[in-house]
Chain A
């Protein structure tokens, strides 16, 4: 972790003083494998969802608790309440300020599948966990965590946040951005660097795979739930039977109890799938969409740059062109002196060319910044994807092992009780798998 970025000192988080140097340092940091956990200096929790009812709407707010030793924060502890819309706003601001950085995804606005209501407890809990992860990931990001809006989000009281939100770039300027983006996407990128092409391919494939895994996991949860329904009906048949028997009553009750215990263990196992694995996979489905958007935004910048370069070339060609090929005849028809007209045009073009060159310089800086930011964040993203998914797969596998071990113990204790009743029982040869 590059400590110079988190060093509060003279650093102003909202405006990088030297974008080039900062990004270059960020790029070198992609060699670091692990971020030092001991260096974590900000802890954020999202909890305590509460319902708010107004005349117009009902919504949920969450408590956001921040504890930090960072010097850019005036205090070491903050407690605020935020609603989902506020998170959306923050994400938007982070992406605007850093269009080619990869921001951790937010949970979706509402769930389409099934009959989940917005105020359903499970839904709120899943969302709360995702919001918690979101803020923590942002706080761990070397550049994003220094963002001024992020700080305000964590610290400002509700009315302060509302007024700050109003100060942001207005509707018109956001419209302008959208128009430019659309124009850029229509224009397309002429020569995308190879590494971004392979990123694009990877992201397409990754997105597909994550979507599949997400769907498969949902399906497993559904099948397991239906299995549990049937299992619930199965155990009682043994209990019922035991009521009609004498000698067999004990073994039958034993089997009933085993099936019942396994039922409970399976409920646990399903919970792991639906509470841990499914949300993790789903988050990476959303993350893939973020990656696509980031690549698109990078492309926009490049498309703009290419367009401007083309315009520059055209104007230069225009300026250096043979005056006879130009509309001198037209000018003379209007009664202008050809030589004067030509000089006027030359001057105008030179001015325009100069302006264009300045714009292109700025754009080229921006392009370099964006490309480096993306490259740096790309390896960062790959590392955390690997860590996250590896961890959740290992946990799930372990949970499954635990489940089977518990069920195994249940049936073995049943056999033990059977053995102690009679003495010697012959075991079938198919005992050991």
Chain B
């Protein structure tokens, strides 16, 4: 998620629209024309705790998120229209995403914010109910919706529209699409190991890249969390100076005032790290999004591999069946077949049997031919659409991450400025000692 504002993006006329973190509009989304986002403003406005009954009389506490939508035309026309709103749980977002993955297998589907807090440094809570975590998740969910709604293909999906606009009955509608069955078989297929003879080189490179991206971003996030932890310690110990200077000032005459005020600055210095690191968490979230994106990218590459494999298998099968027909028709055995062996061992089959087998083979060949045509077309689809979407993803990634890095630099600069201020003030107090 990037914090920059763009003139194109859906904006409210609320006074705090300049607060970048609340707006959560990404520069890479603004250029999409004709997408849902253009027509409709979407926000995940709030989060609330609910308790409900799970199975077997057990109470569970969960969080719901308020999705608000408003037609952009109305907003831009200056009318103050009340937004439509509905509540959704995280699990419903998950369901939506699973549906999208199955329905658009060649699209790099945006990830959801993490289910459980990872890469935490010790002061940061790993508790799912922690308000800071919930808030960051709210932002992440909004980000997800905005990305999907601005995608040239996915934004037109009816299920998506339903998700955003009708609270009740959505789950049934999703299940009715039968995507679940496809999802299960897909998972099984993708987890299987298979060898592809002629995968598209570009997809293989992308897959390799997605592995690297996953690995490197996790490393980066881990290292950053450790650095944050240590920096926290350094700043907080300075707070002790504040305490002792204050106590010391009580026994000094001339030095007392200077020491006392210097002590206050030490306290301020120690306290400043909390805000600094909280801001950095947003940067970490931006990197995290692409850690999860890497997995989505990999999935598309795997899908290509799978469809290519199925095509290759179907082609091989078709070729072998054609060959069998030829052998049956001409009597020349070129390839080894079990039937051929048993025929040799147990004697020639009858003419009727041969006819029957030939007819069956013909049918199978017709089927096989269709399958190959189908698989070829599917493969070509995935290659062309998948490649197109991967290019789109690449450009989006380059823009988003570049912005994230620049934001990071701004954060560091802000931290340095605070440091300069505190120590300059402290120096002044020391001079007055």
Contacts and interface: CB of A to CB of B under 8 A. Distances in A.
A403 B234 CA distance: 15
Contacts of B241: 213, 216
Given A209-B248, A237-B220, A408-B420, A430 B233 contact: no
Nearest to B255: A386
A392 B423 CA distance: 14
B133 interface: no
Interface stretch (A148-156, A354-362, A367-375, A393-401): A393-401
Interface stretch (B186-194, B209-217, B305-313, B326-334): B209-217
A227 interface: yes
B271 to A, nearest CB: 14
Contact of A227 (B217, B219, B230, B405): B230
Contacts of B224: 234
Interface string A398-428: 1011011101100110110010000001111
Given A238-B220, A400-B423, A401-B427, A407 B412 contact: yes
B408 interface: yes
A418 B397 CA distance: 17
Given A216-B244, A237-B216, A223 B230 contact: yes
Contacts of A241: 216-217, 220
A404 B426 CA distance: 14
Contact of A404 (B5, B258, B419): B419
B18 interface: yes
Contacts of A428: 3-4, 20, 407, 410
A234 B223 contact: yes
B186 to A, nearest CB: 28
Contact of B5 (A205, A238, A403, A426): A426
Interface size class of B (residues with CB under 8 A): 35 or more
A123 B231 CA distance: 27
B220 A226 contact: no
A22 interface: no
A415 B398 CA distance: 17
Contact of B233 (A206, A223, A231, A427): A223
B226 to A, nearest CB: 4
Interface stretch (A65-73, A92-100, A183-191, A247-255): A247-255
Which residue, A223, A405, A418, has most C-beta atoms of chain B within 10 A?
A223
Interface in B348-401: 397-398, 401
Interface in A215-257: 216, 219-220, 223-224, 226-227, 229-231, 233-234, 237-238, 240-241, 244-245, 247-248, 251-252, 254-255
B418 to A, nearest CB: 6
A401 B420 contact: yes
B213 A394 contact: no
Contacts of B406: 251, 415, 418, 425
21 contacts: A212-B244, A216-B240, A220-B237, A223-B237, A224-B234, A230-B223, A230-B230, A231-B227, A234-B227, A241-B216, A248-B397, A248-B398, A251-B402, A251-B406, A252-B405, A258-B409, A390-B258, A397-B430, A426-B4, A426-B6, A427-B410
Q: Which 3 A-B pairs have the closest CB atoms?
A: A397-B427, A227-B230, A404-B419
Given A219-B240, A407-B416, 15 more contacts: A209-B251, A223-B234, A230-B223, A234-B224, A241-B220, A390-B430, A393-B262, A397-B423, A398-B427, A404-B419, A404-B423, A405-B416, A415-B406, A415-B409, A430-B279
Interface of B: 3-6, 18-20, 209, 212-213, 216-217, 219-220, 223-224, 226-227, 229-231, 233-234, 237-238, 240-241, 244, 247-248, 251, 254-255, 258, 262, 279, 397-398, 401-402, 405-410, 412-414, 416-421, 423-424, 426-427, 430-431, 433
